[in-house]
Structure 1
Amino acid sequence: MNTMTQTAPTYTLGQLVFYMLRLGTFGFGGPVALAGYMRRDLVERLGWITEADYKEGLTLAQLAPGPMAAQLAIYLGFVHFRVLGATLVGLAFVIPSFLMVLALGWAYAHFGGLSWMQATFYGVGAAVVGIIAMSAYKLTTKTVGSDKLLWVIYLTLAAITFITESEIAWLFIAAGIIGWLRRAPPKWLQKGSVNGFAVGLLPAMSGALSGLDIPLLGHIALFFTKAGAFVFGSGLAIVPFLYGGVVTEHHWLNDRQFVDAVAVAMITPGPVVITVGFIGYLVAGFAGACVAALGTFLPCYLFTVLPAPYFKKYGHLPAVKAFVDGITAAAIGAISGSVLVIAKRSVIDIPTAAVALATVLLLWRFKKPQEPVIVVAAALFGLVVFPLLHAH
């Protein structure tokens, strides 16, 4: 029975949009924390969304590529207000943090050479390594657990990401297919799956398009759309993918700038993926920021709105779940590998090693997400220590 259409909403679309605007402005702690806030407020406190609809939204957000918290928000907008609700809620959730990274991008581009900016990010970069390490640990224990097949996928991807310092998109799909063939061997190979078909098509399309001589904004649009369409798992899963494209392949940013961009994502509320706006700004100004953000969020929007009506029917098939488990293990493996890659760039001396270690210990000791507090403390630490070390 379709619960989506059973009950009339007890709230207006305006109320939900305002809620998402507020969450996008003040919601810190990464995708898992943001999903938790939505459950606490919309399901438990306000009773706007049923537990069943919330769970379905969360499952779809985990199944589809793209930033999980943004997709969950889009799905919750779809529950009672269909495409209009999904669109407005998605925009309300993403725009506050996008405006913040634009402002930070402007400041960074204008003052990035100044010693206070370098000093701030000296401390913050190291804290980011600790935050990502802790996030990778939590995701690993929660998702991979004691599953031998998923461990093999996880370790393989972690090693490949560390060695190549880039993210190889087709390996994610391969991991999903391995999980699916091992767990739920198909009787319906002829039918295929729409998402699998789209995902198989993307590398072929991007291969054909990369040979064309398109202007910089075109390259940015293409790269970030590919990133948005391929990245499964938490928002941090996009980090190794972006590193491979932005630093290794296109040389748009150097290592230092890239780590700073990840740090900016940690400082701002809302989805971690919003760092694409900052990167886009550094590469091609305001237009670059808009194109990068649109490219990243459009696939996630479509992957939520298009399957939403069918998801109740097909989302629970063992084959779909096995495919996604494989991809998720691969994504978390890639995050773990990228921790080591980013650590090589950010943990450069004893003080930065101390900051990274302190971050891990604090997040280990205190369960509540305090990433923003840690990032601010690390920035202040950098402001004090960096000038002392680089006095001469």
Structure 2
Amino acid sequence: MTTTESTAASPSYTLWQMVLYMLRLGTFGFGGPVALVGYMQRDLVEERAWITAADYKEGLALAQLAPGPLAAQLGIYMGYVHYRILGATLAGLAFVMPSFLMVVALGWAYTRFGGLSWMQAVFYGVGSAVVGIIAMSARKLAAKSIGKDKLLWAIFLLLAIVTVVTESEVASLFIAAGILVWLLRAPPEWLRKGKLNAVALMQLPLAGGLHGAVDASLLTTVGIFFAKAGAFVFGSGLAIVPFLYGGVVTEHHWLTDKQFVDAVAVAMITPGPVVITVGFIGYLIAGLPGACVAALATFIPCYLFTIIPAPYFKKYGKVPGVVAFVDGITAAAIGAITGSVIVIAKRSIVDMPSVLIAAATILLLWKFKKLQEPFVVAGAAAIGLVIFPLMH
């Protein structure tokens, strides 16, 4: 099958071949969302010709437009192309499951041996490196998604400041940013004709923040929180970091600052989607049931935001209003990521060695564009093992 054929043609691969590929990618796919997306293009489009170039581009565009971690959504869409909902479901599970099992195992080790000096030493180095990694990721996202657009830069700066000041992510501002860009860049007909209900519009940005107190069990509370978190991850799994920090540390006090930074570090040293850190966090909150609930609640929105719009995306995906709305939300998400760098740094950068580790991480990733984060993390862990005993 050539890359120009329609998806209606019989696939040149079986569903189980796709599932096994996703299982392998989830097990050995290091490098973050951009690298994982690149692997899928190389393997599925260029080398194996299982997916046409047109279908790949449509899947990538949908993954960028809809809420959800980029790589996970693209993997789900790759399964959907020829095998529809069954293919999307099995491909998504296969992609996520290896890294989920890894973070659960790390969660068990962390809770059981977290007091041991060697584990404290490892996370001392890795926590500092994570600050540098997130900073560079935010820079790449901003350059790629915002460019020189002044309106999007204004949204970016506002969300960065709000995140630093409140030390949490304000989800309603994401929606407000999307609506603002939509109304300014691609206003609907009823707005052009002056039929805008201004009072109703003013209430829209606040709608995301209206929710009553939930009188439920811990697992139910965890499920509700992580479901909301999964609905606001745009473009990169790192977008979930400020949202999670505001909830698990500031609001619910499920984790300490140190535990949260360690959770982000775990996501950096494991393959697969970065957002799988929710499994580690869930384990620290409520053991294995907490890990399962957190992961399911986070990935179900991602799954639904892929399979539900998929049949209609070819028709509506390039509508100016849709594109403008997502541009606004994306700029807001990147601003929140940038602000979270400062929030996390205030708690992870505690002495001169940690400053140097973070600075060295930034310099290495700046100079060596193809350097993969797991190698940086491994080096930081080794440095931590040497320095931490000397400092403490």
Give the TM-score band, short-chain normalised: over 0.9
Partner deviation per Cα, 1:271-298 (whole Å, 9 max, x = no partner): 0000000000000000000000000000
Number of residue pairs the alignment of both structures matches: 379
Could you tell me whether the CA contact under 8 Å between 1:184 and 1:318 is conserved in 2?
A: yes
Aligned equivalent of 2:150, options 124, 128, 148: 148
- From 286, 300, 303, the counterpart of 1:301: 303
Matched, 1:76 2:81: no
Q: Which runs of 5+ in 1 are unaligned?
A: 191-198
Q: How does 1:303-382 map to 2 (within 5 A)?
A: 303-382=305-384
The corresponding residue for 2:229 is: 227
CA distance in 2, matches of 1:86, 1:165: 36
Aligned to 2:173: 171
Deviations 1:307-339 (A, max 9, x none): 000111100101100000000000000000001
| TM-score under structure 2 length normalisation | 0.94
Counterpart-to-counterpart distance in 1, 2:95 and 2:243: 23
- Match 2:17 to one of 15, 18, 21: 15
Residue 3 of structure 1: how far off its partner (Å): 7.0
Decide whether aligned partners of structure 1 residues 389 and 214 sit closer, same or farther in structure 2, where only a CA change above 3 A counts: same
Give the equivalent residue in structure 2 for 1:207: 211
Amino acid in structure 2 at the alignment position of 1:373: F
Aligned-residue sequence identity (percent) comes to 73
Deviation at 1:202, TM superposition (A): 7.9
Q: Deviations over 1:180-230 (max 9, x none)?
A: 11111111679xxxxxxxx989837x714xx23101000000000000012
Q: SS at 2:145's partner residue?
A: helix
User: Using the alignment, how far apart are the partners of 1:85 and 1:262 within structure 2?
Assistant: 30
Q: Which residue of 2 aligns with 1:113?
A: 115
CA contact (8 A) 1:237 1:332 kept: yes
User: CA, structure 1 residues 115+225, in 2 after alignment: closer, same or farther (shift >3 Å)?
Assistant: same
Q: Give the Å deviation of 1:233.
A: 2.6
Q: State the partner residue of 2:198.
A: none
TM-score, normalised with respect to structure 1: 0.94
Task: Report how far residue 6 of structure 1 moved.
Answer: 2.6
Alpha-carbon distance in structure 2 between the residues aligned to 1:387 and 1:229: 41
Quote the residue 1:43 is aligned against: 45
Cα distance in 2 for partners of 1:148, 1:57 equals 28
Seen in structure 2, the aligned counterparts of structure 1 residues 255 and 72 have a Cα distance that, compared at 3 Å, is same
CA contact (8 A) 1:3 1:53 kept: no
1:31-110 mapped onto 2 (5 Å cutoff):
31-110=33-112
Deviation at 1:7, TM superposition (A): 1.7
Root-mean-square deviation over aligned CA pairs: 1.8
Q: CA deviation at 1:14?
A: 0.8
Q: Per-residue displacement from partner, 1:84-123 (whole Å, max 9, x unpaired)? A: 0000000000000000000000000001111111111000
Which letter maps to 2:375? V
User: C-alpha displacement at 1:369, in angstroms?
Assistant: 3.9
SS in 1 for 2:13: coil
2:172–2:207: 8 Å Cα contact kept in structure 1?
no
Q: Please, which moves more after superposition, 238-247 or 227-236?
A: 227-236
Question: Structure 2 unaligned runs (5+)?
Answer: 196-203
Distance in 2 of aligned mates of 1:370 and 1:231: 22
Answering whether residue 267 of structure 2 is matched by residue 265 of structure 1, we say yes
CA distance in 1, matches of 2:10, 2:276: 33
